[in-house]
Amino acid sequence: MTSEARIKQLTEEINYHLYRYHVLDSPIISDAEYDELYRELLALEESHPDLVTPDSPTQRAGAEPLVAFEKVTHPAPILSLANAFNEEDLRAWRTRIGRLLPNPDLRLDYVVEPKLDGLTVVLTYQDGIFVQGATRGNGVVGENITKNLRTIDSLPRRIPVDPNSDLTPPPTIVIRGEVFFPLDKFEVLNAARLAAGDPLYMNPRNTAAGSLRQLDPAKTAERSLTLYCYDFITWEGIALPDQQWERLDLLRRLGFPVSPDNVYCQRIEQVAGIYQQWIEKRNQINYEVDGVVVKINDRPLADSLGFSGKDPRGSIAMKFPAQEKTTKLLDVQVNVGRTGILAPAAVLEAVEIGGVIVRNATLHNYDEIDRKDIRIGDTVLVKRAGDVIP
Ligand code: IVH
């Protein structure tokens, strides 16, 4: 086999194993076997630099730092949604839609997706190859962050990812997704910073945003970012199904990571139930959600409803109650942990956050308290992360 053919084969294989590992969560080879394939590809590419392709998995961290981000104009506006805050708002949305339908009682079905608290990205694939990734920017013009996005393991560099797929790569598709920092990885990052005496990061969203906008892709590669995709912005040479539910499935079959928490709902009553369930479970999953997005499953019908201002009428964002409140710091106590570690804890004026009364908060360590200059009597911003232990 020629080097060129072997490089092509290895690229395909490694990309498929990355997909098995990061998207499907079901690897079929061991880490050591993976490393072996990767090293073989790396060695071949080193001796044939002209044969390095943009979809090569080695292109994760090797890129040169940029001086500034290029601007890119999106092929279609990257829109946002109107908000609802409770079941009543949801009903009102359904009633408004009804007025625009020939029959207000027309049976509609829905897809309810977690509203990921991350950063929107716009991903362009040409002949199946990931060629450009951009931030949302102002919705019309974003920034070219292709090199940074290539460092994300779960982002397909070539579609369909599965070499045995019966799908053929479309000439052009542009996909919308949300990049985020998984909470377990965020905690690991902050723990390492704490140990190194570096200031802690405030929250996963801002950290994900900062990581994506690094001019040096090697910095982005150090962060464990991932993404979920949920929409086609434009497409060419591929027949899209009419249903949002089917479109999500198509995204999955092409190899894009899609949230496993999306739900199909036959009726609006079910949508309200899912929203309530999410409020309960939002603190038990490994990513931050700030609401659910309710979408009319019939996309051509949804699109035909047009816009209210800039917001498409066919979907609505149902936000969750805030998980941040301000309160007063009453005292700082020191607890002795199981391993003998001294852990300072804040005693707070009781405050209700997301249906739970919070009276205590961990303070990480004295350096952190010192750095933030926290004093008794201060007003502090308390953020609920995870389930509160009463
Ligand atoms: S649909 C016009 N689906 O939440 C279509 N958005 O206001 C609008 N988001 O700016 C987007 N997860 O950045 C959609 N599953 C999801 C989403 C989602 C997060 C973000 C998105 C958008 C905002 C909605």
pLDDT digits 0-9 by tens, 231-279: 999 999 999 999 999 999 999 999 999 999 999 999 999 999 999 999 9
Mutating to test ligand 1, I would choose from 293, 296, 307 the residue with most ligand atoms within 8 A of its C-beta, which is: 293
Q: pLDDT tens digits, residue range 264-322?
A: 999 999 999 999 999 989 889 999 999 999 999 999 999 999 999 889 999 999 999 87
291 lines ligand 1 (CB under 6 A): no
Residue 372 annotated in active site: no
Mutating to test ligand 1, I would choose from 116, 119, 138 the residue with most ligand atoms within 8 A of its C-beta, which is: 116
Centre of ligand 1 to C-alpha 6, Å, is 40
Average pLDDT, the chain: 90
Strand ranges for the chain from DSSP E? 71-73, 83-84, 110-116, 119-126, 129-135, 141-143, 172-180, 226-236, 263-265, 289-296, 307-308, 311-312, 315-319, 324-336, 342-353, 356-362, 379-383
288 lines ligand 1 (CB under 6 A): no
pLDDT of residue 369: 74
Q: pLDDT tens digits, residue range 78-98?
A: 999 999 999 999 999 999 999
Q: What's the full length of the chain, in residues?
A: 390
Q: Which helix (H) or strand (E) holds 321?
A: none
Q: How confident is the model at residue 211 (pLDDT cuts 50, 70, 90)?
A: very high
Shortest-distance Cα residue to atom 12 of ligand 1? 115
Residue 21 identity (one-letter amino acid): Y
pLDDT of residue 45: 93
178 lines ligand 1 (CB under 6 A): yes
Centre of ligand 1 to C-alpha 180, Å, is 13
Q: How confident is the model at residue 390 (pLDDT cuts 50, 70, 90)?
A: very low
**Active-site option among 115, 147, 185, 295:** 115
312 lines ligand 1 (CB under 6 A): yes
Distance of CA 322 to the CA centre of its chain: 19
Query: Higher confidence at residue 216 or residue 324?
Result: 216
Shortest-distance Cα residue to atom 18 of ligand 1? 115
250 lines ligand 1 (CB under 6 A): no
pLDDT of residue 387: 54
